[in-house]
Copies of this chain bind each other. A is one copy, B any other.
Amino acid sequence: MSMLYIKEEEAGKLLPMSVALEAVEEVLRLHGQGKAVNITRSRVRLPNNVLHVMSGGVPDLNITGLKAYTTTRQGARFVVLLYQADTGECLAMIEADKLGQIRTGATSGVATRYMAREEARTVGIIGTGWEARAQIAAMSVVRDITSVKAYSRSPENRQTFADDILAAHGITVTPVETAEEATRDVDIFITITGADDPLMDGAWLAPGTHIIPRAGDLVKMLVHVFGKG
């Protein structure tokens, strides 16, 4: 048999968020039960390049594989190698930028499914890029989202994001002028921006808000939230 090569544009079309979300939930559950292997990321650090590699496998799914990506001044390039465990065959090489965005969104979706209030309907989001789109897609799978407030530094990007989300999910997005507007009075609050500081203040968060922070924002948010006392 021969290895499939799946390009970015195909990967995005082949994997609906609802499917990714169920897959991520299944593998998280298996991992929690000690039925999955996860090897932490290694990094080859050169002056102008970092090669990141992570690998893992799931016996129940008969699958093992790795993700490798290079980061340079020109950006990041991602591939996944997927193997059939019992035969050791490489089934597919998958360009994995889009795949990673969907997987990141799906992970937020699983957390939201189990940790947000059942009646959560409104989302505030800081960041309006591709990853932000995947986050909203995931929210719409696990909750009946009725409205989104979106903030990013560029008014154009906010509007394009609003147009795209309406087209993709039929959800109305209100582009807002400040991070504070996106943070106040929402059931689910997401930061997913390349900005160094998402400009949020924990004092703006309503009690009971389900928070999905970027990795780097988590500690800061905890300080804000617990600082409110």
Task: Decide yes or no whether A39 CB sits under 8 A from chain B.
Answer: yes
With A49-B64, A79-B81 already in contact, the answer to whether A56 and B44 are too (CB < 8 A) is yes
**Residue interface mask A46-58, B partner, CB < 8 A = 1:** 1111010101111
Judge if A212 is at the interface, Cβ distance under 8 Å: no
Q: Is B51 touching A55 in the complex (CB atoms < 8 A)? A: yes
Q: List the B side residues contacting A39 at CB < 8 Å.
A: 42-44, 53
Tell me if A208 is interfacial: C-beta within 8 Å of chain B: no
Measured between beta carbons, the chain B residues less than 8 angstroms from A89 are 70, 77
Q: How many residues of chain A are within 8 Å of chain B by beta carbon?
A: 38
Find out whether the CB atom of A79 lies under 8 angstroms from the CB atom of B72.
no
A71 at the binding interface (Cβ < 8 Å): yes
Known: A37-B44, A42-B39, A44-B37. A65 touches B51 (CB 8 A): yes
The CA of A131 and the CA of B45, in the complex, are separated in Å by 32
Does A33 lie at the interface of the complex (its beta carbon under 8 Å from any beta carbon of B)? no
| Min CB–CB distance A47 → chain B (angstroms) | 6
Q: Across the interface, do A51 and B72 meet the contact criterion of CB distance under 8 Å?
A: no
Task: Confirm or deny: A111 has a beta carbon within 8 angstroms of a beta carbon on chain B.
Answer: no
Query: Nearest Cβ in chain B — how far from A215, in angstroms?
Result: 22
Residues of A163-178 whose CB lies within 8 A of B: none
Is B88's CB under 8 angstroms from A70's CB?
yes
Considering the complex, which residues of chain A in the window 87-142 have a beta carbon less than 8 Å from any beta carbon of chain B? 87-90, 93
Instruction: Say how far A9's CB is from chain B's closest CB, in angstroms.
Output: 15
Question: By the criterion CB–CB under 8 Å, are B77 and A70 in contact?
Answer: no
Q: Would A57 and B46 be within 8 Å (CB), given that A87-B72, A88-B72, A88-B74 are in contact?
A: yes
Given contact pairs A49-B85, A64-B70, a sample of 15 additional A-B residue pairs in the complex whose CB atoms are under 8 Å apart: A42-B55, A46-B85, A48-B59, A48-B85, A49-B64, A49-B83, A49-B88, A51-B64, A53-B55, A55-B68, A70-B89, A71-B88, A74-B87, A77-B89, A93-B93
Which chain A residues have a beta carbon within 8 Å of chain B's beta carbons?
37, 39, 42-49, 51, 53, 55-59, 64-66, 68, 70-72, 74-77, 79, 81, 83, 85-90, 93
